[in-house]
Structure formats: structure tokens, C-alpha cells
Chain A
Amino acid sequence: MRTEFLTIYWRDMKKFFRIKAMLFTSLVQPALWLAIYGLSMSTNLDLITPGIPGQLGVASVNYLTFMAAGVISMTILFTCLYSGISLQFDKYYGLMKEMVASPLPRSHILIGISLSGVTKSLIQAVIIIVFGLVLGVRFFEGFTVWSTLLSLLGVLVFIVLFAMGLLFLSVVISMRIESHEGLQGIITLLSLPLFFASNALYPIDSLPLAIKAISYVNPLSYFINGLRYFSLGSNFYSFGTYYTYSAYDMLLSLTFLLGFAIVMYLLALRTIKKAKIV
């Protein structure tokens, strides 16, 4: 098997750890979200809805715990979408030229950078989970050691698929847009509906129809379903809404994310093969 994609991965990770400002912000920002927005919102919300009793025998989950999955998804969303910007820099400053002039297959460029995107996402998710547990996020409550491990594995699979899909999407955009400013704008524009038209911060059942429709085709929603299933269980009550996840729901979420990643990979491969890099 050819392993040149590891070279691309090697360089990308070096850059991640070497550019200190990038490393610092990408690790601290998610923690700040959880600490500032999460704590502020949850103290307020828990005041308004003090222990509205759920159905009998269903765990009631506080807001901080509910939105922690949202913060993880948002962090991965931004990390992966903004990777396109660094790719565009490579294209602009010529490094991409070195890669495409070499015998390295184009697919290895994609796999290499997506692996580094996944690695960064996993590091960030771990930080949020650990920091969240310190702040009072009640993940894996009532889980046995065995089922916690299994759940972590589930979380891992969902993060890998979600991060890859987003990264390939980011490649598709960044290879087609020539200006840095334009790319910044488009990524910001895209991340707004992706984040807010989803179940990241609130339940989608009561959302306006149009926004609800977007949330149904939004990979973020499916990713969060998976995260909540694995971290909170198949049956819980939060934010005035009763959540149940069946095995069928999980299969649907997994399939949707897998499909998203595959379609984006094929689009990205096509884009990078056609891109004129001179």
C-alpha cells in the first residue's frame, strides 16, 4: 500500500503544533464557549425551567450537558471548514504546486489533510469533554466502564465521518474560490445555517418550518444525534423535550454522515484533479 498521504499528514500536524497562535486559539476557544456561553445559558435556563419533571424513569439532563454536544459539533465545524483557508494559502504560495508536480496521487493529498483534520477534531473533542466534566457536564452518567468505552468508540466513529465530510467540503470550496476575502466570507456564511439550523443548542421540533427543513438535511444534526446518544443514552429529557433514540435512528445518522463524507470526497477529488495549480 502506498503511504505517501502520511507525508501530507506529517507536514500538516507539524504546522498545527508549530503555529502557536493557531494551536492556542483552537484549543482554548471551545473551552471558552462552554465556560462562558454554556454556563451563562444554563444558569438562566435552569432557573426558568427548574426541574420540570420528565416522564417517570427518564433522566433529566441539564442545559450545560445538553449543549456540550453542540459545542463539540461547532468546534469541529469551524476547525474543518477553516482548513480550506490554509489549503488556499498552500495553493497561493505555491506549496500545492510542489505536491501536484510530484507523482503523489491527488487522493493522497485529500486523505492526508483529512486525517490531520480528524486528529485536530479529536484533540478538541477530548478537551471539551474533559473540561466539560470539570464544569459539571454530566456525560456518560450511569454508564458502566464497558459501556463508556463502547460509547467513546461510537463518538470516535461519528467524529471521524463528520470531520472528513466537512474537510472535503472545505476543499471543494477553497479550490474554487480565488480570493482569501471571498473564501472567508463564504465559509462564515455557510457555517451560520449549518450551526443554527440544527439541534446543537435547542430542540428542532418547535423551529419554524423552513429552518426545520434545513436541519433535516444538515449533517450537523445527525452528528449531534450520535453524540447525544453515545454520551447521554437513548432516553433522556432536556429543554422541555423528551428524546429517544432507537437503533434505527443511529443507523440513519451513521448512514447520512457516511454518505455525506463519500459524496464530499468524490466532489473534492474531482475539484482537485481539475484545479489548475500554476
Chain B
Amino acid sequence: MENPVISVEGLSYKYGKVTAVDNISFSVEKGQVFSFLGPNGAGKTTTINILTTLMPIQNGKVTIAGFDLEKQQDSVRKSIGIVFQRQTLDWNLSVWETLEFHGRLYSIPKNDRRKRIDDLINLVELEEKRNEFVKNLSGGMKRRLEIARGLLTRPKVLFLDEPTIGLDPYTRMKIGHYIREVNGEGVTVFLTTHYMDEADHLSDEICIIDRGRIIANGTSDSLKDSLGMDMIYLETDDGEKTTRLVKDMKEVTAVRPSSRGLVVSLNDEGPRFMPKLVERIRSEKIEIKSVNLKKPTLDDVFIHFTGRGLREEEQEKKKTGNGGGEH
């Protein structure tokens, strides 16, 4: 088997006394779309900043495209493309000039550079904006331009840090489409996101990260399977008694409270089990207010491993007013 394109062993990073990344290890195979999924402040951006040479390695060993991150920085830099979380465009340059500037920074020979720029402008559908100044582009167009820029150097790995943050659903879909197209051509993609649907649809492998640690990883399906097959949301007039009752059924793997009732995880197919469950509860004279069958999502996976939701975290942050940039 080929060596992984990215291999990370025992990576840690501290801002003073605060640990942002706590001894993480993972590897990414060539041609994969690999996602880092986690709430704001989980350590995603810190990890990406280290892997892209913007921040020094404090602890751990990393190789990217076969190069040692610590000793062969320039070789790593030549092998990767980056789309940063925050916009990094010069508003006074045109679309074409932005790409030209980047290509020259990486010393791509002129003929090659000009051809690639044309191809990429086509890929991200900015032909009509070719000579438009960046300041006159919409948010989605700016993002597409940044993606084109990240691809200009024909990187072995493309790092995308929250590429769709703050964009409308149509643009998000488009960007997902480009990512798949680029990946189809053999570029390994390293993606960070806190949108679970994005991670779900795009990734071959997902790493769930929280508070600087990897808490679970695997394919989307294997992560969901680890919760049991299906889940049933149940609301009754006696939650405690229902819990006791349901827990003892052999198809049930776990019962936990949710905002309005209970979540029952199963090791059997939900539709088959549901009538049996309803019958059992009714037989004890408990009144069922609502019942709802659900396939597990990555959000459920996250809740399962951390005890809190991805979105809850975000709302909590908004309330306390520190939901801004990540470390």
C-alpha cells in the first residue's frame, strides 16, 4: 500500500497554557476527501495552520506528500494549496491578476501559468468577471476565486478551512461540486467544517474533533453505525418509567433524554421495531404524545461522543459573545 499523503503523529499545540491541540494522530490516504468536523474552537484551524507551515510544530511529527514538515518546509509549501478560513484577497487586483500574482509567487513558468489560470477561471465559472476588481465580486465569487487560487499550483493536497462559511446554500452546493471535481482528478482534500451535512456528503473519511482531541473517526457510515442502526424520538407522559421499560428491550442499545423526550438507539431496523415499542409502552398505560423515526446523523454521532450538539455549542458561543474567529 502507498504511504499516506498526510501523516500526523502525536501533534500538540499550546497557546501559553491553553492546549488547543492535544496529542492527535491521524493519516490521510492519497485521493481522499478527509474532513475535520467539530465546533468552533475545537482546534481545527490551529491544526490546519500547523500543517500548512503557518505555525511552528511544538510537539509531534508530521509528513505531507512525503516531506517532513519541520525540516522540509519549502517542499511542503510547494506541494499544498490553501484556502484560508478568513478571506485573503487584495481588493485592488482583478480576478486574473489575483491568480497571476499567486502563480508568480510560486514561480510557475509563464506559458503554463497563463494556461492554468484560464482553465481555473472556467472551472469556478468566473469567465465574465475575469477583469473585474475583487472588491466588486460577491462573497461567493470571492470564495470561488480563492479556491481557484488554491488549485493553481497543482497541489498534491488542497487544504480548505471552512470553505463555505457564511455562504448561501446555492454557492455552498457549487463549492461542494468543485471539491468533488478536483478530488476526482486525484487531489487529496483536507477539509475543516462545522457543517455536518457538508462533511457527510463530501468526505471519504471524517475525523470528529472536540477540545483539541480526536474523539472519533471513520467513514460517515461507520460513524453512524457505531451509534446503532436507527433512532426513535419518543415523547410520553412519563419519561422515567418509559426509560426503564424501553432499556430492557433487547433491540435497544441506549436511551438518553433529549430536549423534548427520549432518544432510543436501536440495533434493529426502526420501522420493524416501532410497532413493538408502541405496544410495549401502551401496555403499561403510558400515553405516547409523539413518536418519530430517524436515521442517525453526524450531529447525533457528535452528541453521542461529547454529550453536546454541534449547534448547541454554536448557540452557546453566540450568547456569550465569543463565537468569533478560531484559534
Interface residues of A (CB under 8 A from B): 2, 4, 6-7, 10-11, 14-15, 18-19, 93-95, 97-104, 276-278
Chain A residues whose CB sits within 8 angstroms of the CB of B312 once the complex forms = none
Give the docked Cα–Cα distance between A99 and B88 (Å).
10
Chain B residues whose CB sits within 8 angstroms of the CB of A15 once the complex forms = 90, 92
Give the docked Cα–Cα distance between A184 and B253 (Å).
64
Chain B residues whose CB sits within 8 angstroms of the CB of A10 once the complex forms = 101, 104
**Given that A14-B92, A15-B90, A277-B54 are known contacts, is A98 also in contact with B105, CB under 8 Å in the complex?**
yes
Chain A residues whose CB sits within 8 angstroms of the CB of B77 once the complex forms = 101-103
Interface residues of B (CB under 8 A from A): 49, 52-55, 74, 77-78, 82, 84, 86-90, 92-93, 97, 101-102, 104-107, 149
List the B residue with the shortest CB-CB distance to A92. B86
A-B contacts counted at CB < 8 A amount to 61
Instruction: Decide: A278 and B92 in contact? CB cutoff 8 A.
Output: no
Instruction: Decide: A97 and B54 in contact? CB cutoff 8 A.
Output: yes
Name 15 A/B residue pairs within 8 A (Cβ), A-sorted: A7-B105, A10-B104, A11-B97, A14-B92, A14-B93, A14-B97, A93-B87, A94-B84, A95-B88, A95-B89, A95-B90, A97-B54, A101-B53, A101-B82, A102-B77
Contact residues of B: prevailing secondary structure: loop
Chain A residues whose CB sits within 8 angstroms of the CB of B93 once the complex forms = 11, 14
Chain A residues whose CB sits within 8 angstroms of the CB of B49 once the complex forms = 278
Instruction: Decide: A101 and B54 in contact? CB cutoff 8 A.
Output: yes
List the A residue with the shortest CB-CB distance to B325. A278
Chain B residues whose CB sits within 8 angstroms of the CB of A4 once the complex forms = 104-105, 107
List the B residue with the shortest CB-CB distance to A3. B107
**B106's contact among A14, A97, A103, A278, by CB below 8 Å, is which?**
A103
Give the docked Cα–Cα distance between A137 and B296 (Å).
83
> What's the nearest-Cβ distance from chain A to residue B146, in Å?
9
Residue from the set B77, B89, B92, B105 with the largest chain A CB neighbour count within 10 Å: B105
Instruction: Decide: B54 and A100 in contact? CB cutoff 8 A.
Output: yes
> What's the nearest-Cβ distance from chain A to residue B8, in Å?
18
Chain B residues whose CB sits within 8 angstroms of the CB of A99 once the complex forms = 105
Chain B residues whose CB sits within 8 angstroms of the CB of A95 once the complex forms = 88-90
